[in-house]
Amino acid sequence: MKTIPFLDIHPDVAAALAAQRPVVALESTIIAHGMPYPNNVATALQVEAEVRAFGAVPATIAIVQGRLKVGLTPVEIEQLGQGGRDVVKVSRRDMAFIVAARQTGATTVASTMLIAAMAGIRVFATGGIGGVHRGAAQSFDISADLIELAQTPVAVVCAGIKSILDLGLTLEYLETHGVPVVGYQTDNLPAFYTRDSGFKVDYRLDSPAAIAAAMQAQWRMGLQGGMVVANPIPDAFAMPRTAIDAAIAQALQEALAQGIRGKESTPFLLARVSEITGGDSLASNIQLVLNNARLAAAIACAYQD
């Protein structure tokens, strides 16, 4: 693998990649911006443990003092968790500036995908992907996650599109850019906290091996971009659709009233939904991330076989 400036790969991750053993990338905005402390640190460490338990090596990704880190130490995870929203949220647009200034930043889905691809990692587990925001016809607020999915060869295992977004427009955008949306053991697109959004997926695949075979076929043909693997939250932790829809509607109204938009909108909305639901959405969020980590590890293992 060619040397990439500013890239530091943890020795455990580097050894696994050299031996062609399965590796799963993990993002860091979920640590700094997705959950409160100390839940964020505990969840991050638990997610890494789940990946290991299912046969793969975890590689949590962030920028630390200007270095692109693929695999964090527990101390680095703790620092991100304690820093919270004071840590810079880094998408593709921001990377060069954070690196040049030797700052520390938490990577979004887009930047995590990009850094994972630099390191040669093909599977990434997260909570939910970004997408087209509600009201985008006026705001033009579309997540960079979708652009990255269209051009970077990484499979993103998630619980669907974050339900605070416009799911229908997000699916249309992904279709236009040739990004397949695969439902794991489901015909229906999950919506983060709920198992069914009312929308269909492009393809249903019922095993990690089938998903790995599709990944291999796509990239061996030289087709650009990644794919979305939509993994429904387990039944036991899913929230009633009416309750979550009401909480999202209230949070969206508050965001509009306070003029919150851009990259600040998602952390605000997730935090407010958690507050409105009395913490139920946070508990669901933790469980869906763990569930995605398990599936991602199984796909990574099948991809390397």
State the catalytic residue, choosing from 76, 162, 172, 200.
162
CA 258 – CA 274 distance, rounded (Å): 18
Cα distances (Å, whole numbers) of residue 141 to 1, 114, 133, 137, 267: 36, 21, 6, 8, 15
CA 222 – CA 110 distance, rounded (Å): 21
Q: Phi first, then psi: what are they for 285, rounded to 5°?
A: -60, -45
CA 186 – CA 256 distance, rounded (Å): 34
CA 187 – CA 219 distance, rounded (Å): 24
State the catalytic residue, choosing from 27, 48, 50, 76.
27
The answer to whether 27 is a known catalytic residue is yes
Looking up tokens 């794919």 gives 227
H or E stretch at 116: helix 109-119
The answer to whether 162 is a known catalytic residue is yes
Cα distances (Å, whole numbers) of residue 22 to 25, 151, 228, 263, 296: 10, 22, 19, 32, 10
**Catalytic residue numbers, as ranges:** 27, 162
